[in-house]
Chains A and B, each alone.
Chain A
Amino acid sequence: MALTGVEIFKLLPKTNCKKCGFPTCLAFAMQLAARKVSLDACPDVSDAAKATLGEASAPPVRPITLGTGTKAVKLGEETVLFRHEKKFVNPCVFAIGIKDTYDDVTVDKKIDECLTSEIERVGQKLKVDAIAIINDSGDKAKFEALAKKVASKAGDVPAIICTGNTDAAAVALAQFKDKKALLYGATMANVTEMAGIAKGNGAALGVAASNLDELQDLTEKAKGAGIEDIVMDSGAKKAKDILEHNTLLRRAAIKKGNKSVGFPTINFMMRDDNLLETLMVGLGIAKYSSIVVLSSAEKWKNLVTFTLRQNIYTDPQVPMQVAQNIYEIGAPAPNSPLIVTTNFSLTYFIVAGEVENSKVPTWLAVMDCEGLSVLTAWAAGKFTAGKIAAFIKESGVEDKISNKELIIPGYVAILSGALEEKLEGWKITVGPREANAIPTYLKSKTA
C-alpha cells in the first residue's frame, strides 16, 4: 500500500544534502509520495529503505508489456478509479478473437481485419492491438496449426494464447517464444504447469477463475510459481458481473493496496449481437478492462470503439488539440467563405460540424492556440490580432482564395479593427458568437 510523504521521509537519510534536486529530504519524500520523482534520485538511500520503498512505490496495478517491437502494447499501471482524478494510463487493449474451429477463409479475414485496422483520428493512430488465438476445438493439432498461421501472417502482433489444455498451450505458445505473448487459461487444476510453460516461453500468464476468491488464490499460486506478469479473468461474463468485478478489483488494488489483485484484467466481450458486443467493448473501456477480446473488427465498429477509447483515455487536464491547418470543408472554391478559430479539439469539432451542417463549402483556418477555446485563448493572449494576422499570412491561404475576407468568432469582435490594420487589403467580418448560429449565418452570407 502506498506510503505517505512522512512515512517515506522516515526511511530517507535525512541529511538534506540536496543531491536529489530538492531542498530537503521531506520535500523529496512528498514528491515520492505523489509519484512525481523516482527514488533513484537519492544517491544515499540504504538498501533496506530501497526495498521497502520500492515495494510501496510500485504502481498499484502492475505494468505489463505484451509483444515486442513497434507493435508492443502496455497494460496496467493505473492509479485512479475516475478519470477526473488523473489520466487513465494505458488504454484498454483490443484483441480480436480467432477460434481454431473457424474455416481458413474466416481465419484469414480476421487476421486481415486486425492488420488493416489502423486509422488516424485527431492526430493519433488507433488500431486493433492483439490477436487472441482460442482453442475452441479442444484439439491440440488444430490449435497448433492456427497458432502457426497467425505467427506466419501476423507474427509481430502481440498474441494471446487461450487454452486450458497444457499440451495445446505448449505447442501453440512455442510459435511466439520470447515475443512476450500472453498465455491465458491457468486454472486451479493446471496453474503450476501453465506457469512453467509461460516462463519457458517468456510469456505473461493469464489466470481464469470462476469467482473473486478463486482469482486471488490463483494469482498467489502463479506468483508462487515464479510468475510476475499476470493478467486476471475473474470469470465474469455478464455486463453486471464484469462491472462489479472490475470495479472491486481496481478498488482493492488502488485503495486497499491488495497486491494479490494488482494486475491488469482481461474480459471476453463476444456476443451474437454485434451491436451489443460494441457496447460491451464500451463497458470495458469505461470500467477498467485492460484487455477486451472481440469476435470481429469491422471498420464501423472500430471507428466507434477507437473513438470511445481515445475519449476516455485523454488527459482531463490537457486539452485535446487538432493540428494547425487550413481545413477544407465541403469542396471550397476560391470565393468560398474563410473562417478562423482556435485548435481546441472541441472547438474544432463543433465549428467544423456546424459548417458541415450548413452545406456551404468553407475554408476553416484552425490556429494553434495550445488547445484553448476562443475566449480563453484570447484572454491568454494567444488569439490576438497580431498572431492571427501572422498565421493567416504564413498559412498560404491567400493563394487559394479570391476575396480576402476573414470571418472571426463573434466573441472576439473586439479584434476586428486591429486585424484590419495588420492584414492589409483584407476585410474582417465578425461572425456568430456561438457555433450553432453558423449554418444560418453561412447560408445567408452565400445566398
Chain B
Amino acid sequence: MAFTPPKETYTGKVYPVTIGSGDKAVTFGGENVLPFHSFEGSTPNRPVIAYEIMDVPPTDWPDKVKEPYAAVSDDPVKWAKFCEQDLKAKAIALRLYGTHPDSGNKSADDAVKVVKDVLAAISVPLIIIGSNHAEKDTDVLVKVSEAAKGNTCVIGKAQEANYKTIAASAMANGHMLIAMSELDINLSKQLNIMITQLGFTKEKIIIDPMCSALGYGLEYTYTVMERIRLTALTLNDATMQQPMLGDVGMYVWKIKEVTASEDILPEWGALTERGVAWEAQTAASLLLSGAELLIMRHPEAVRAVDAFIDELV
C-alpha cells in the first residue's frame, strides 16, 4: 500500500532579503515552508554565513579561535580581506566592539573610518554590529550607517531601548536592520511592530530573537525561532515573516566548554575539536529551527556547517 505523505501547505512566507551590491550581493529567506522542507514548498535561497571580524584585536577570544586570524586581526581591513579572499566568505560581519565604554570606548568617528576602510577593501556584503551598549550604539550606528550609504549593509542591533534613532538612520541610508529582543516571541513581534510604525519597511528587518550557546539556553532560542517561523507560515502573520539571525560566535566563544583544557576536565575530551564543534552544532541547530543568517567565527566550524547545508538542500 502506498504511503500517503501528509504534506502541509502554509499560508505565509518569509521575506527574501538581499544585501550588498553587484555580483557579490546575497539573498536569504524567501521560503514558504519550514527550514529545509523543500519537499512541500519553495526554498529558493540558501542560508548565509557571515564571518565575524572586529574593529579591535580580539584579545578576549580563546586561543583556538584567535589562531586562524593571528596574522590579520590587528587590522580590520586585513582581517576582512583575509575572510573574503582566503576563507571565501559570502558576507562579513564587523562588530564595533572597541566602541564599548568598557572595551576601549572608541569614538563614532573611529568606527566610521573602520567601516569606510573595510567597505573599500571588500566586495562581499557587510553587516555592521555595534558593541551592544544601548546608548553608545545609538551614536555609533547612526554615523556608520551614514558612512555606509549606498552599500546596502545590515545595521544592528536595534533594541527596545534604542530602536528609534538606529532604525531612522538605517532607513535614510538604505540598509537592512537587525531587530533584537530577548528570547520572547511577543517581545520580538512588538519590536517589529514598533519599528514598522516609524515607517520602516517590514521587508528590511531581520529578526534576532537573541542567540544562546548550546548548553546555555540554546533550547530557548531554538524554540522561539521555531514559534516565530510557525507564526509566520501558519498564521500568515506579516509582523513575523522576516528572516532570522543567529549571532552564534559571540555566544559560543566565551563559555567554559570552549576554553577549559583537557588537563582540567579530562572527561570533556580534546579542546581543539570541542570548541569548533560547539560553534558548529549551535549554528546547525539554529538553522534547523529557522535562522537564515549566521554570524560565526571559526573557519572549521563554518566549513562544517556549510557541508551540513550542502546535504540539506
Q: Which residues of A contact B (CB under 8 A)?
A: 82-84, 119, 121, 212-213, 215-217, 220, 238-240, 243-244, 247-248, 251-252, 255-256, 258, 260-261, 273-276, 278-280, 282-283, 286-287, 298-305, 307-308, 310-312, 314, 316, 346, 349-350, 352-353, 356-357, 440
Contacts and interface: CB of A to CB of B under 8 A. Distances in A.
Contacts of A273: 304, 307
B218 A308 contact: yes
Contacts of B311: 238-240, 276, 280
Interface of B: 1-8, 36-39, 60, 102, 212, 214-220, 222-223, 226-227, 230, 254-257, 259, 266-271, 273-274, 276-278, 280-281, 284-285, 288-289, 300-301, 304-305, 307-308, 311-313
Contacts of B257: 303, 307
Contacts of A238: 311
Contact of B4 (A240, A252, A301): A252
Given A213-B2, A314-B219, A304 B307 contact: no
Main secondary structure of the interface of A (DSSP, over half): helix
Contacts of B307: 273, 276
B285 A286 contact: yes
Contacts of A278: 277, 280-281, 304
Given A213-B3, A301-B277, A350 B218 contact: no
Given A212-B5, A279-B304, A353-B254, 11 more contacts: A239-B311, A240-B313, A282-B288, A286-B285, A299-B270, A301-B269, A303-B268, A308-B281, A312-B222, A346-B216, A440-B102
B223 A83 contact: yes
Given A300-B270, A300-B274, A283 B217 contact: no
Contact of A240 (B36, B255, B273, B276): B36
B217 A239 contact: no
A215 B277 CA distance: 34
A252 B289 CA distance: 21
B219 A307 contact: no
A307 B38 contact: no
B277 A300 contact: yes
A287 B288 contact: yes
Contacts of B6: 248, 251-252, 255-256, 258
A252 B2 CA distance: 13
Contact of B267 (A220, A299, A346, A352): A299
In the A-B complex, the 6 residue pairs with the closest CB atoms:
A299-B269, A239-B311, A300-B269, A300-B274, A275-B304, A311-B219
Given A282-B284, A301-B269, A356-B256, A316 B223 contact: yes
Nearest to A320: B219
Contact of A308 (B8, B230, B285, B301): B285
A439 B220 CA distance: 24
A83 B276 contact: no
B250 to A, nearest CB: 11
Most-contacted residue by chain A among B8, B212, B215, B226 (CB, 10 A): B215
Contacts of B285: 282, 286, 308, 312
Contacts of B270: 298-300
B175 to A, nearest CB: 26
Contacts of B271: 300
B255 to A, nearest CB: 5
A244 B37 contact: yes
A357 B269 CA distance: 21
Given A84-B227, A276-B304, A283-B288, A300 B3 contact: no
Given A261-B3, A316-B223, A349 B281 contact: no
Contacts of A303: 257, 268-269, 274
A156 B215 CA distance: 30
Contact of A279 (B220, B266, B280, B300): B280
Contacts of B37: 243-244, 247
